[in-house]
Amino acid sequence: MLDLLQQPSSFAVLAGLLGLCVGSFLNVAIYRLPKMMERQWRAECAELAGTTVTATERYDLVLPRSACPRCGHRITAIENIPLLGWLLLRGRCSACSSPIGWRYPAVELLGGLLSGYVGWRFGFSLAAAGALVFAWALIVLAFIDIDTCLLPDSITLPLLWLGLLLNLDGTFVPLAAAVSGAAAGYLALWSVYWVFRWATGKEGMGYGDFKLLAAIGAWLGWMQLPLVILLSAMAGAAAGVAMIVFAGRDRARPIPFGPFLAVAGMIALLHGEAITLAYLGPL
């Protein structure tokens, strides 16, 4: 079995299958985490106001079981098989025939393909395990930001600390570069935020973006931050212009920056050194 895992192609397939299965859980996290945050905020506001919150059933990433939001039909084990369940149901609830959004299988497929590529890129190693967690966290953060313009601390902060812990032995970069990357990542966007606010009187981004870039810096080191910032800024600007010109998006409506940071961070993890060397040459 160990020999099989050490073969790049075999490990890539196994990582891809794992990513498909994890993709189902990622959908749960994307849907439920914002609702869990809202419940927590309401409880905190009620506590400050000196009132009580009516007790409700447990709601977290484990319970209650996944169900159709329209009719409440509990998703069966067969229906919950990644990709295959959605195809067998033809994209509709088996109880009420309500359409099941395409994004559910899309997230599962993305998780599978990205995990398979990570497995092929890093092989059977601690770096591969870390990169898989990194990729899954970025998928959840990107989609939550698209839906709510929020980047939960419950993901960004553990991601930052995990990056520092993995780099204690230099899994991706030396520890000093990881610590510098975390600090520089946070301060880079924090500075942009305050300069923009001073110049315009408006908030150009949220604090979650600072924390996400700090987490990326903790994983990849300060050396990759210029590439991440450049790629995310270019992609964000292009997407913003396209949505305004072709989709008629209101200019005053904010565009979440987290997805662009996530994509840029993943590119930098997988091919950052090669891109930097190709552009700048050996440093």
Tens digit of each residue's pLDDT (9 = 90 or more) over 133-159: 999 999 999 999 999 999 999 999 999
Q: How many CB atoms lie within 10 A of CB 154?
A: 13
Name residues whose C-beta falls within 8 Å of residue 111's C-beta, 6 or more positions apart in sequence.
19, 20, 22, 23, 26, 135, 136, 139
Q: What is the pLDDT of residues 115-136, one digit of tens each?
A: 999 999 999 999 999 999 999 9
What's the pTM? 0.93
Contact at 8 Å (CB) between 140 and 22? no
CB atoms within 10 A of CB 111: 27
CA 105 remoteness from chain centre: 16
The pLDDT of residue 184: 97
What pLDDT sits at residue 68? 83
Residue segments in the chain with a per-residue pLDDT below the cut of 50: none
The confidence score (pLDDT) of residue 278 equals 80
pLDDT of amino acid 9: 84
Closest CA to 167 of 242, 219, 107, 125: 219
Distance CA 191, CA 66 (A): 42
Cis peptide before 69 (omega within 30 of 0): no
> What phi and psi values does residue 97 have, to the nearest 5 degrees?
65, 15
Give the span between the Cα atoms of 3 and 262, in whole angstroms.
33
